[in-house]
Every structure is written in C-alpha cells, then in structure tokens.
C-alpha cells in the first residue's frame, strides 16, 4: 500500500504572561537561583492566569498554528490534545477546544502520555492521515502544570510551567514529512512520577487533599537516570527506522526538562549545542507543551529550513518515551 506522506503545515505556541522567576521561588521554598540554574538550567517559567485553563492556552496556540498552515478550523478532521492537566475529567479538553475553534467537522479526543504526549499525538495523527482516513489534524500539547504543582515541595516546584504548542498536520510532497516514529512505555516505572489523587483509585476526599495527593510526586534522580538513557536510545532508534544516522540531524528538538539531560543526549548523539533547540531557561518543563513550543520557536526564529532533518524526542511519566524523524 502506498502511504500518503504527512508533514507539519503550520506551528503555533502560546505562553501565559505571568513570569515566575527563581528569585520568587526563593521566597516560597528553601532554594536559590544558583542551585536551580546549575542543577536544571531553568531561570523562569510561566503561570496561567487564575481564569485560564488548559483549553484557553491550547486555543491561542491552535489559532496561530491554523493561521500559519493557512487552514480554517472547519477544514480540520480531528483534534488531538495531549495533556495531563485537562480542564476537567470530561468532556475532554479536545472537545472544549473544538467548540472554541468552531471546528464543527472535527472529531476530538485527549491523549494521556505525560511529557511524551505530543510525540504520541503526532504518531497517531500522522498514521490516520497516511492511511487516507483524515486529511487535516490539529495536534496540541497543552498544560497548566501549576495547578498540580506543590509549591511547598522544592524538589518539584522549581521545574514546571504552563503553556501550549500546536501543529497542523496534513499531506505533503513525496520525500517530505515524517520518516519514522519510535514510541515506548515502561509501566513498571509509573511510581517514579505521578499524581495519584483525584482518580478512581484515590478519589478526592478531605484526607487525600490533606495528604497533598493531588500534586505531582517525583523521584527526581531516578527519573533523571531513566531520561538520560532513553533520550539517546529513542532518537537513535527512530533514526535507524528512518534509514538515517545521527550525522543527518539538522536540528534536535528535545523535551525541555533539564539542561543536563539535554546535554547528555547531545553527547550521546555527538551533536553541538547549536543543533539543538533549548528554551527551558524561559519556560521550565511544560510536559506535553514543551516540544511543540520549542518547535514553534525554532520555526519563528528561522532555525528550520526546507529539507532539514528534525528529530523530536521526549520522555515522561508512565514511564513513556517517543521520538520522531521529520524532513521539513
């Protein structure tokens, strides 16, 4: 069967206005700017306004992506929102977004793969377009992580931020578009990074709230070791499937969790830092939003040109990981 080549027709991003600096965090928990910058590379992150939820951030990023793609909302066949901070349990954030956009023809669903969610979304959407099932799919990574961050826990509250990135996927010319995906999961590592309160196992009760079970819990150094191993593995495996090697990479767009994790991936792939998109100093870790925000900024700043080989790679709770190889 001849599959239709699928690529990115337009990108968009949105980050809330409110900046939370390391200096402000110094007033909230026992930490300091020097520690945060040297251990993570993060200098500031964005916080959604009290009246903003994930779908509001997703909407702004989506409008930009649709404009860049020259596609109207009515032309969308499907909307996928990758998020771990949906507006509510249901309806899905994708359905809320579909209504805000007026994308009346589009099917819509949320996808839960934590920080790997955007890559999982790209793989899902591109398969559906390649098979001929759909033509235009909006894939969004959007998070309000500040709503599930424990601002009394210095191990986690320094890391996360809010924001959204979006892409419109559609048919592209032969020789362009996605070349390969590598997705993976290791559910045995689920306890390393989780929010256990509020689901069917631990419903919201006064006790669960008192025990702060509705906030992110993380075994930082274990996640760090996993991330260092999996970033290189996933990128190399995706390149292998694409029939390419690390020397073919023009730009790496990694998940923006920690500068030391990104640097170890660069070492493993023998890539100089100027072949890598890094913006975690400004936004911290935005989970499913990190990669599409970084991609949109790479496009905005002219760092991607036609024919470039772009590798996106991420990891996160689940545990999950994902990588893609794309000819722009």
Q: Nearer Cβ to ligand COA, position 57 or 280?
A: 280
Q: Nearer Cβ to ligand COA, position 158 or 242?
A: 158
Start-to-end Cα distance in the chain: 23
Q: Is 285 a catalytic residue?
A: yes
Which residue in 103, 142, 223, 235 binds ligand COA (CB under 6 A)? 223
149 sits near ligand COA (criterion: CB under 6 A): no
Tokens in use for 153? 């826990």
40 sits near ligand COA (criterion: CB under 6 A): yes
Shortest distance in whole angstroms from residue 120 CB to ligand COA: 14
Catalytic residue among 95, 115, 144, 157: 115
258 sits near ligand COA (criterion: CB under 6 A): yes
Strand ranges, E, within the chain: 6-14, 18-21, 44-47, 78-82, 107-111, 137-144, 162-171, 177-185, 193-194, 217-218, 251-254, 309-316, 320-327
Phi/psi for 13 (5° steps) reads -145, 160
311 sits near ligand COA (criterion: CB under 6 A): no
Which residue in 123, 252, 257, 288 binds ligand COA (CB under 6 A)? 257
135 sits near ligand COA (criterion: CB under 6 A): no
3-class DSSP state for residue 276? strand
# of chain residues touching ligand COA (CB under 6 A): 20
**Neighbouring residues of 225: CB distance < 8 A, sequence distance ≥ 6:** none
Active site residues: 115, 255, 285
Residues that bind ligand COA (CB under 6 A): 31, 35-36, 39-40, 115, 154-155, 158, 193, 218, 220-221, 223-224, 227, 257-258, 285, 316
């Amino acid at each position: 069967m001849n599959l239709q080549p699928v690529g990115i027709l337009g990108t968009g991003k949105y980050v809330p206005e409110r900046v939370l600096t390391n200096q402000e965090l110094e007033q909230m928990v026992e930490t300091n700017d020097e520690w945060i910058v040297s251990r993570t590379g993060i200098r500031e992150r964005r916080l959604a306004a009290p009246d903003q939820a994930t779908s509001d951030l997703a909407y702004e990023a989506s409008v930009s992506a649709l404009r860049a793609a020259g596609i109207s909302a009515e032309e969308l066949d499907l909307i996928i929102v990758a998020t771990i901070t949906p507006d509510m349990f249901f309806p899905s954030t994708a359905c809320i977004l579909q209504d805000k956009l007026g994308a009346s023809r589009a099917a819509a669903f949320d996808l839960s793969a934590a920080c790997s969610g955007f890559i999982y979304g790209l793989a899902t959407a591109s398969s559906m377009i390649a098979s001929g099932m759909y033509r235009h799919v909006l894939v969004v990574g959007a998070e309000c992580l500040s709503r599930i961050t424990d601002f009394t826990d210095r191990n986690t509250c320094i890391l996360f931020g809010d924001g959204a990135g979006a892409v419109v996927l559609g048919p592209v010319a032969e020789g362009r578009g996605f070349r390969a995906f590598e997705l993976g999961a290791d559910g045995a590592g689920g306890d390393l990074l989780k929010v256990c309160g509020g689901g069917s196992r631990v419903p919201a009760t006064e006790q669960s709230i008192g025990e702060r079970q509705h906030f992110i819990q993380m075994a930082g150094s274990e996640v760090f070791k996993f991330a260092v191993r999996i970033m290189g593995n996933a990128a190399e495996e995706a390149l292998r499937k694409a029939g390419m090697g690390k020397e073919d990479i023009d730009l790496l767009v990694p998940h923006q969790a920690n500068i030391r994790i990104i640097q170890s991936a660069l070492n493993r792939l023998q890539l100089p830092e100027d072949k890598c998109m890094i913006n975690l100093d400004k936004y911290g870790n935005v989970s499913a939003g990190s990669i599409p925000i970084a991609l949109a900024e790479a496009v905005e700043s002219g760092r991607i040109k036609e024919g470039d080989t772009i590798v996106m790679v991420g990891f996160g709770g689940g545990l999950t990981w994902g990588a893609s190889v794309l000819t722009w």
